[in-house]
């Protein structure tokens, strides 16, 4: 017990006699400064204080000037980045976030610079800030992964609001793209919130990326059916629908675009002007109407899709014998249509195949099984 007490006492005395090197140096510097200031006369002390105040005022003026100049430069950089991002049609939420982040970083650099000009040591402050940043980053690693994924999605735009996608085991229409997650609405109107980290690294099936999709059917007809007649009847059914691409997608796009222009031009005709044949429009009304039509046509032509398929591909309706099944012959039908007409065309054609093929004498089989019974005497 006595030896333990002596040991503790010795350690305390050693700590009091030999402080750590940085603390000892600071204490020694402060003591020397107090002694030197105490040895000065009153006039020297006043002169030293005045000189220190003048130096500090000069540093303060420089710091104020640097602050206003830095704020002006930050404003210029902010407006330049904003104009670049707006010119590239970047997402509004991503634009706001990046601009806020740039402003915070630039103001932080400005404040650190001003503190250094005032003579305050900033190395310890920066080290503390860096340590805090590392700790926060390790604690929020999953959240930061979602954040990085959200930035990549908003920059690369693999999908946008309104697209129908399938990802992470869910399918639905994209309702909102945020920094940390994406919200989609399923067919039965459920809101699914998916973290952006998995979306940015996983596979995404975007059904709305292309303007045209292929619609497939498999029609089962009974054995003994005349295949050539059945194929001709099916080809006539699909060709009679104007939503089906006749041969080339480019031609269908041009036809839809012209219909859009004509519908938009008809929408600007004043009510009653076209219907009332007895009342002729004045020359001023005709001039205004002509100018409005021309502006609408130019605007719609400018909005036409510039990235049309360069190589023309034959997309005529296809009808072929797909399989000789156990109870039926299966005929494959493939047509191309616009994505807005995909599901309406699919269900309408199912109905027409069932009703019109039956009316023409074709029958649809059902699964059959022949059972042979051997009777023993």
Same domain membership, residue 126 and residue 216 = no
Q: Tell me: the pLDDT tens digits for 8-34? A: 455 445 444 444 445 556 566 656 656
**Is the same domain home to 85 and 164?**
no
Per-residue confidence (pLDDT) for residue 109, from 0 to 100: 86
* Domains identified in the chain, total number: 4
| Domain presence at residue 147 | no
| Residue 306 pLDDT | 45
Q: What integer pLDDT is reported at residue 95 of this predicted model?
A: 76
Domain for residue 199, yes or no? yes
- The verdict on residue 76 lying in a domain is yes
Assess if residue 56 is contained within a domain.
yes
Q: Verify that 45 and 59 share a domain, yes or no.
A: yes
Same domain, 324 and 199: no
- Asked whether residue 358 is domain-assigned, the answer is yes
How does pLDDT run across 169-220, given as a tens digit for each residue?
899 999 988 888 899 999 888 999 999 888 888 889 998 888 888 999 999 9
Residue 27 domain-assigned (yes or no): no
Is residue 52 domain-shared with residue 111, that is, in the same domain? Answer: yes
Assigned domain for 16 exists: no
CATH of the domain at 361: 3.30.70.100
The pTM for the full model equals: 0.53
CATH assignment of the domain containing 98: 1.10.287.1260
| Residue 263: domain span | 257-305
pLDDT number for residue 56: 76
pLDDT score of 348 = 94
Q: Looking at the structure, tell me whether residues 80 and 165 fall in a common domain.
A: no
| The pLDDT of residue 280 | 57
Please indicate, yes or no, if residue 221 is contained in any of the structural domains.
yes
Q: What is the 3 state secondary structure string of the chain? A: CHHHHHHHHHHHHHHHHCCCHHHHHHHHHHHHHHHHHHHCCHHHHHHHHHHHHHHHHHHHHHHHHHHHHHHHHHHHHHHHHHHHHHHCCCCHHHHHHHHHHHHHHHHHHHHHHHHHHCCCCCHHHHHHHHHHHHHHHHHCHHHHHHHHHHHHHHHHCCCCCCCEEEECCEEEEEEEECCCEEEEECCCCCEEEEEHHHHHHCCEEECCCCCEEEEEEEEEECCCCCHHHHHHHHHHHHHCCCCECCCEHHHHHHHHHHHHHHHHHHHCCCCCCCCCCCCCCCHHHHHHHHHHHHHHHHHHHHCCCCCCCCCCCECCCEEEEEEECCCCEEEEEEEEEEHHHHHHHHHHHHHHHHHHHHHCCCCCCCCCCCCCCCCCC
- Whether 200 and 221 share a structural domain: no
**Could you read off the pLDDT tens digit of each residue along the chain, which spans 377 residues?**
444 445 445 544 544 444 444 555 656 665 665 666 556 566 666 777 777 787 778 888 888 888 899 889 988 898 888 888 888 777 776 777 778 888 888 888 888 888 888 777 777 667 777 777 777 777 666 777 888 888 888 878 888 888 889 998 899 999 988 888 899 999 888 999 999 888 888 889 998 888 888 999 999 999 888 999 999 999 999 999 988 988 877 777 777 666 666 666 565 555 444 444 445 556 565 666 666 666 655 555 554 444 444 457 788 899 999 999 888 899 999 999 988 888 899 999 999 999 999 999 998 887 767 777 777 76
Same domain, 61 and 115: yes
What pLDDT does residue 8 have? 45
């Amino acid at each position: 017990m006595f030896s333990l007490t002596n040991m503790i006492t010795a350690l305390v005395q050693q700590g009091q006699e030999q402080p750590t090197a940085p603390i000892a140096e600071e204490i020694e510097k402060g003591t020397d400064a107090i002694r030197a200031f105490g040895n000065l006369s009153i006039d020297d002390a006043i002169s030293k204080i005045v000189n220190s105040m003048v130096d500090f005022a000069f540093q303060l003026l420089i710091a104020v000037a640097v602050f206003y100049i830095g704020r002006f430069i930050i404003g210029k950089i902010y407006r330049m980045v904003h104009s670049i991002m707006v010119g590239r049609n970047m997402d509004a939420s991503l634009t706001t976030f990046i601009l806020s982040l740039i402003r915070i970083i630039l103001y932080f650099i400005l404040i650190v610079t001003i503190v250094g000009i005032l003579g305050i040591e900033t190395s310890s402050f920066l080290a503390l800030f860096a340590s805090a940043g590392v700790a926060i980053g390790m604690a929020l690693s999953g959240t930061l992964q979602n954040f990085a994924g959200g930035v990549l999605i908003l920059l690369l735009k693999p999908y946008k609001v309104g697209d129908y996608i399938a990802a992470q085991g869910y399918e639905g229409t994209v309702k909102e793209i945020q920094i940390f997650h994406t919200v989609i609405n399923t067919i039965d109107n459920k809101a699914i919130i998916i973290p952006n980290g998995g979306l940015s690294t996983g596979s995404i099936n975007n059904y709305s990326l292309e303007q045209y999709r292929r619609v497939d059917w498999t029609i089962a007809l009974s054995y003994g059916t005349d295949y050539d007649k059945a194929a001709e009847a099916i080809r006539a059914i699909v060709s009679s629908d104007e939503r089906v691409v006749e041969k080339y997608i480019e031609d269908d796009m041009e036809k839809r675009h012209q219909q859009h222009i004509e519908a938009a031009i008809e929408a600007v005709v004043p009510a009653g002007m076209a219907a009332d044949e007895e009342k002729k429009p004045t020359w001023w009304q005709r001039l205004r109407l002509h100018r409005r039509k021309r502006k609408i046509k130019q605007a719609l032509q400018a909005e036409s899709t510039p990235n049309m398929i360069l190589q023309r591909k034959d997309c005529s309706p296809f009808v072929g014998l797909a399989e000789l099944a156990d109870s039926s012959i299966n005929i494959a039908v493939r047509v191309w249509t616009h994505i807005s007409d995909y599901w309406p065309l699919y269900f309408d054609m199912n109905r027409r195949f069932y009703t019109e093929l039956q009316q023409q004498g074709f029958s649809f089989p059902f699964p059959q099984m022949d059972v042979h019974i051997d009777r023993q005497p």
